[in-house]
Structure 1
Amino acid sequence: MFSKIDAMDVEGFLSNLAENVTFQFGNAPALVGRAAVREGVVAFFSSIAALRHEMTGKWEADDITIVRFMTYYTRHDRIEVEVPCAVILHHAEDTLIDDYRIYIDLAPVFAPQLRDKPAAATH
């Protein structure tokens, strides 16, 4: 599934989700249903040039999966920003994901970047 996300393949990503999925990305309001998730993911993908995930941990217990990542976002100005995140997934009986929570701080991705830092003052 994360290879589909990294390819920015919205439909491939959505194929892993239950029709009535609850999806929450960071501190954004939860989205309910595939159609709402599609709209949210398309909007988010338009705000970045690319992304990729490197898994740094995974835990499973019954119908819950927790995954830890280092996520690399490429901004439209081509600057790559590294952000840690964790994802908690609940799998329905049909194995599709019916609850998807992403814990991340996206502020660094959208923060203004200083191209040239001012020289230190000398006295």
Structure 2
Amino acid sequence: MKIDALRINEISAATFDWYCRYLMAMDNADLPALLGFFHEDCALQINNHLPMHGHDSIGAAFTRYWEAIDTIEHELHNIYGNDERFCVEMLCHYTRKDGSQVTLPAAVFMDRSTDGRITWARSYIDATPVHDAFTRQYA
């Protein structure tokens, strides 16, 4: 994870550490660890798709996501908000199954419960370059 140019406003060091651990679980394709960051009553929405609700639905989506890539690395640029609600601007560096690399800008909005788990996450990224490779590979 790259954070050289990161700007943060009002989130605590503990929340920043929490978010870094969340991204590491994603980068390591560690589904049990990743789902541990989500509240039981959670939702995840990607772009303009309908939200996914609950661990089963979100877990299945992440499993399909990881099947399309070899690696991902997040480069954080900005985190704005507070410990309960924040947004993150980043670059996502993907290595696809064919070995090619793609860097995509992304924005993520997170809402967390009082116990610090995700209740609602919205991710905005045009992952077409990644998914096109996945579609061609498995078509």
TM-score (norm 2): 0.75
Structure 1 equivalent of residue 32 of structure 2: 11
Q: Please tell me whether residue 91 in structure 1 is matched to residue 112 in structure 2.
A: yes
Q: Is 22-31 or 45-54 further displaced after alignment?
A: 22-31
Whose Rg is larger?
1
CA shift, 1:62, in A, is 5.7
Question: In 2, distance between residues paired with 1:62 and 1:38?
Answer: 24
Question: In 2, distance between residues paired with 1:13 and 1:62?
Answer: 19
Structure 1 equivalent of residue 71 of structure 2: 50
Higher relative contact order (CA 8 A, sep 6+): 2
Q: Contact (CA 8 Å) 2:105, 2:125: kept in 1 or not?
A: yes
* Percent pairwise identity: 25
TM-score (norm 1): 0.84
Structure 1, gaps ≥5 residues long: 113-123
Per-residue displacement from partner, 1:21-49 (whole Å, max 9, x unpaired)?
10012233210001110011111111111
Question: In 2, distance between residues paired with 1:110 and 1:70?
Answer: 17
Question: In 2, distance between residues paired with 1:110 and 1:30?
Answer: 19
* Structure with higher helix content: 2
Which portions of structure 1, spanning 4 or more consecutive aligned residues, are displaced by more than 4 angstroms?
Answer: none
